């Protein structure tokens, strides 16, 4: 293993995912000064951000599934290379297998994302009811619903950032440095909003620095993992599963945020403006990746 390349992969992931998320987390002291209706606005802003991320990663999963038949096909002239895992699928299942495997991987990943967070939430609830403890920074016995929501948002964003890291790693590993630079800058700006989304649900709570550090690492840390996977072991089939898991997890978080607002969500123009603002901010910052 090239240690220099490994170190560069870690640094890219930190710059793209970890640093911007922590910058967004620093907005917490400002959020804590807002009135209740504006706090609801920010929670709805989080909802808009998560809706955008869901559309984004679900689209990536669908696109990757559609392209899988061509991606795993071994060219007859041998001029183009196929990732090792994709070639293994081709050897095991044949040339036409991508038509079936693409949707299968996508549906499987989506189910894992949704059901995985459902089970995670149920375990938190059971531990809280039983007065149990993990003995860590986030004790389920004292975990408030707002902090639990922030934790779920962090996990959903982290799974999304895994896919972003994958894109950066593939671009850098294939020596497409111009594309990698655009992706790095665009994703970095884009991810600052995600830090704000994490702390919005806990803007009326006392949050210590260690907990903020954990939430930020859950959201930004997977970017490093995705970057290293993209550099060393990228696979079109693997990318479908990653994106689909992220889409499923984010959908669950969207439902949880909506449920947490309850009746406060309805008949409030400010809340709907929050959703539109969150979606718009993420859309406009995502354009930096395309310019």
Q: Which of 240, 197, 231 is nearest to 50 (CA)?
A: 197
pLDDT (average), residues 127-136: 60
For the chain, the straight-line distance linking the first and the last C-alpha, in angstroms and rounded, comes to 34
User: Which tokens belong to 26?
Assistant: 């620093």
pLDDT in tens, 180-217: 888 888 889 888 999 999 999 888 888 888 889 999 99
For residues 164 and 17, the answer to whether their CB atoms sit within 8 Å is yes
pLDDT in tens, 221-252: 999 999 999 998 888 888 999 999 999 999 99
Rounded (5°) CA angle 43-190-18: 90
Q: Which of 190, 238, 201, 198 is nearest to 68 (CA)?
A: 238
Q: What are phi and psi of 135, to 5 degrees?
A: 75, 15
Give the percent of the chain with pLDDT over 90: 42
Cα distance between residue 172 and residue 177, in whole Å: 6
3-state secondary structure of 189: helix
Position 131 scores a pLDDT of 61
User: Which tokens belong to 158?
Assistant: 């982290």
| Average pLDDT value for the chain | 85
Position 280 scores a pLDDT of 94
More confident site: 113 or 77: 113
Q: Is-above-0.85 flag for pTM?
A: yes
For residues 113 and 174, the answer to whether their CB atoms sit within 8 Å is no
């Amino acid at each position: 293993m090239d240690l220099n390349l490994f170190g560069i992969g870690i640094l890219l992931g930190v710059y793209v995912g970890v640093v911007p998320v922590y910058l967004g987390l620093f907005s917490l002291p400002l959020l804590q000064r807002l009135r209740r209706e504006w706090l609801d606005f920010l929670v709805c802003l989080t909802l808009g951000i998560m809706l955008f991320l869901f559309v984004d990663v679900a689209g990536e999963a669908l696109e990757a599934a559609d392209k899988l038949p061509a991606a795993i096909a071994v060219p007859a002239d041998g001029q183009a290379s196929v990732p090792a895992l994709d070639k293994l699928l081709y050897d095991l299942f044949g040339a036409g297998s991508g038509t079936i495997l693409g949707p299968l991987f996508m549906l499987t990943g989506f189910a894992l994302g949704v059901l995985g967070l459902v089970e995670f939430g149920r375990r938190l609830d059971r531990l809280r009811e039983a007065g149990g403890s993990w003995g860590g920074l986030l004790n389920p016995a004292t975990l408030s619903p707002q902090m639990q929501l922030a934790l779920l948002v962090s996990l959903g964003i982290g799974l999304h950032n895994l896919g972003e890291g994958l894109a950066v790693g593939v671009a850098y590993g294939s020596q497409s440095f111009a594309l990698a630079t655009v992706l790095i800058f665009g994703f970095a700006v884009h991810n600052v909003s995600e830090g704000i989304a994490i702390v919005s649900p806990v803007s009326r709570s006392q949050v210590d620095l260690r907990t903020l550090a954990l939430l930020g690492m859950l959201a930004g840390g997977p970017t490093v993992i995705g970057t290293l996977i993209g550099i060393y072991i990228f696979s079109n089939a693997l990318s479908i599963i990653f994106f689909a898991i992220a889409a499923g997890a984010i959908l669950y978080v969207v439902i949880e945020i909506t449920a947490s607002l309850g009746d406060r969500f309805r008949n409030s123009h400010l809340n709907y403006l929050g959703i539109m603002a969150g979606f718009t901010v993420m859309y406009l910052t995502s354009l930096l990746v395309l310019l």
